[in-house]
Structure 1
Amino acid sequence: MKYQTYLIDLDGTMYRGKAKIPEARVFVDNLNQKEIDYYFLTNNTTKTPQQVADNLTNNHQITAKADQVVTPSLATAAYIKDMFGEDISNHSAYVIGEYGLKSAIFGTGIKLNEYDPDVVIVGLDYDVTYHKFELATLAIKRGALFIGTNADTNLPNERGLVPGAGSVISLVETSTQQRAHYIGKPEPEMIDFAVEAKKFDKSSALMVGDNYNTDIKCGISAGVDTLLVYTGVSTHDDIKKVSVKPTHEVESLDKWDV
């Protein structure tokens, strides 16, 4: 089957931290040459879509525009806008996360509230502190809705597998005895949001990623074909153990015929 839309993961698929994956650039060049639509579905909430696109273009020579980037920050912002509607400016949130997440959330018009917000949103935060965890825990205990951006326990970069957003969120889950409502991969909401925002037919789309537990499960749960590439998190031994296999598997993206 020739796919009309590609949904592409970043960390471990397009690059590993600051380290390039040369086959990734060739893969995206082929998509452009054949005029096939593609979007980057990343679980990274630390950067804005423009910053993600600039990193791809300037540091990895991978053609990308901001409107091709879909993040849990955008999906979470859409989720709370749907939840509160036109009344959102009368509601409040507390956010643990970097600028990419905070700019998307507070760009909705929702107010900042550290004490008794309506919703607590937790994502990856490079400067997370006990005080931030304390505020989030107490707010959730007071009744705030608890949203986690994504469950990635680790991120592949040039140093190895470093802690991801899921590691931060799990601490709040432990302290509150509550599971977060997750928005990012592997939840189908990420692809559902992308379909709604970008207006493509998911029956002819392909989810491409290196992590079975996030990228591939996201595609499976959303009813989208999947392509696992062995340049990041998941290994052959990992895939031998799962009952639902990826639709396709390749060692590297230069082995895939778009």
Structure 2
Amino acid sequence: MLAYKAYCFDLDGTVYRGKMGIESAVQFIHHLQRQGIEPYYLTNNSSKTRETLQQLLKSVGIEAPLHHIYSSSLATAKYVATICKNNKVNVVGEAGIRTALLEEGLEITEEQSDVLVMGIDRQISYEKLVKASAYIQNGAKLIGTNEDIKFPNENGFAPGNGSFVHLVSNVAGVTPLFIGKPSPVMLQIIADEHQFKKEEMVMIGDNYDTDILCGIHFGCDTIHVNTGVTPTEIVKQQAQLPTYCVENLIELLK
């Protein structure tokens, strides 16, 4: 395998599953750190702040600098700040997306606004979905932090943010805009902020439709690991293949 300067890891299904670390990934990251290479972490999970993600990584044995952690919330907030006319937004989501929007100078309101942002909300209710659908039908632009239909946990898979965004979009009859992977926005932010060329970067993930396509859309190399959402046999049937396919990241150390 080629040597890279920026190893960009997905989190859920790649580095950990729920609250349990994936040992092969943890060992590989420790190996990189011993070589003086500090990885980057990209997650479509919009519920957590950078600080919370840093603590979660620490709980599975990984010390990660705060400025090496990127989420769909951060990328979404940066985008929304550029299109919001009056700096007010409607939001469905948890602390991660709410904090990111506030840090971009936006105001979260319950009144009708021009933009509705949807991130994962584990306290989702029928009432919240009804209100979100009304915002869109009254003219708000629907922006989802990510399109993940499901994500792995300790017991299998749980509904992802994309499931709820598509529900609202179907009710309102609109097409949502998604910012998280497979959009290459987060990889582009890393390249811009840390001055990397595309050939110096590699995207590592378990989900072909988000992680691998994110790297392909961006134009960097990709590594698919068979530890989460998309089985290797399904990946190998795709028209656009990852640069590498491994069962787990320990294979790369042999």
Distance 2:83 2:171 in 1: 26
Q: Is 1:97 matched with 2:93?
A: yes
Q: 2:146, 2:162 within 8 Å by CA — same for their partners in 1? A: yes
- Distance (Å, rounded) in 2 between the aligned partners of 1:72 and 1:18: 20
1:79 to partner: Cα distance: 0.7
Return the alpha-carbon distance in structure 2 between the equivalents of residues 111 and 21 of structure 1: 38
* Offset at residue 256 of structure 1 (A): 1.2
User: Counterpart in 2 of 1:234?
Assistant: 230
Question: Residue 157 of structure 2 aligns with which residue?
Answer: 161
- 2-side partners of 1:240 and 1:30: how far apart? 28
Equivalent-residue separation in structure 1 for 2:250 and 2:233 (angstroms): 22
Which residue of the partner structure matches residue 188 of structure 2? 192
Match of 1:209 in 2: 205
Structure 1: 5+ residue stretches without partners: none
Which region of structure 1 is more displaced relative to structure 2, 142-151 or 111-120?
Answer: 111-120
Whether contact under 8 Å (1:50, 1:65) holds in the other structure is: no
Q: CA deviation at 1:75?
A: 0.3
Residue range with higher mean Cα deviation, 112-121 or 26-35: 112-121
Partner SS for 2:39: strand
Change (3 A) 1:98 1:245: same
What is the rounded CA distance, in whole Å, between the counterparts of 2:78 and 2:87 in structure 1?
15
Q: Deviations over 1:120-159 (max 9, x none)?
A: 0001100011221122211111211110111111111111
> Does the CA contact (< 8 Å) of 2:46 and 2:71 recur in 1?
yes
| 3-state SS of paired residue (2:214) | helix
Contact map agreement 2:115 2:141 (CA 8 A) in 1: yes
On the 8 A contact 2:47/2:93 being kept in 1, the answer is: yes
- Post-superposition offset of 1:82: 2.7
Matched, 1:23 2:24: yes
Identical columns (%):
38
- Runs (4+) of structure 1 exceeding 3 A deviation are none
Tell me the distance in 2 between the aligned counterparts of 1:194 and 1:172.
31
- Report how far residue 241 of structure 1 moved: 2.0
Match of 2:77 in 1: 77
Supply the distance in 2 between the matched residues of 1:249 and 1:240 (Cα, whole angstroms). Answer: 8
> Within 5 Å, which residues of 2 pair with 1:58-207?
59-84=59-84, 90-207=86-203
CA distance in 2, matches of 1:67, 1:112: 25
Structure 1 residue 167: Cα displacement: 1.0
Q: TM-score, normalised by structure 1?
A: 0.93
Q: Are 2:232 and 2:245, in contact at CA under 8 Å, matched by a contact in 1?
A: no
1:119 Cα deviation after fit:
0.7
Structure-2-length-normalised TM-score: 0.95
2:238 partner letter: V
Which secondary structure state, in structure 2, belongs to the residue aligned with residue 6 of structure 1? strand
| Corresponding residue number in structure 2 for 1:51 | 52
Structure 2 residue runs of 5 or longer lacking an equivalent are none
Q: Which amino acid aligns with 2:64?
A: A
Q: Tell me, yes or no, if the aligned pair for 1:45 and 1:71 is still in contact at 8 Å.
A: yes
2:29 is the alignment partner of 1:33:
no
Q: How much has 1:199 moved relative to structure 2? A: 3.2
SS of match in other structure, 1:8: strand
1:114/1:135 contact within 8 Å kept? no
Shift in Å, 1:204: 0.9
Taking the aligned partners of 1:182 and 1:250, their CA distance within structure 2 comes to 28
3-state SS of 1:26 partner: helix
Q: Following TM superposition, by how much is the alpha carbon of 1:197 offset from its aligned partner in structure 2, in angstroms?
A: 3.3
Q: How many residues align?
A: 253
- The amino acid that maps onto 1:145 is K
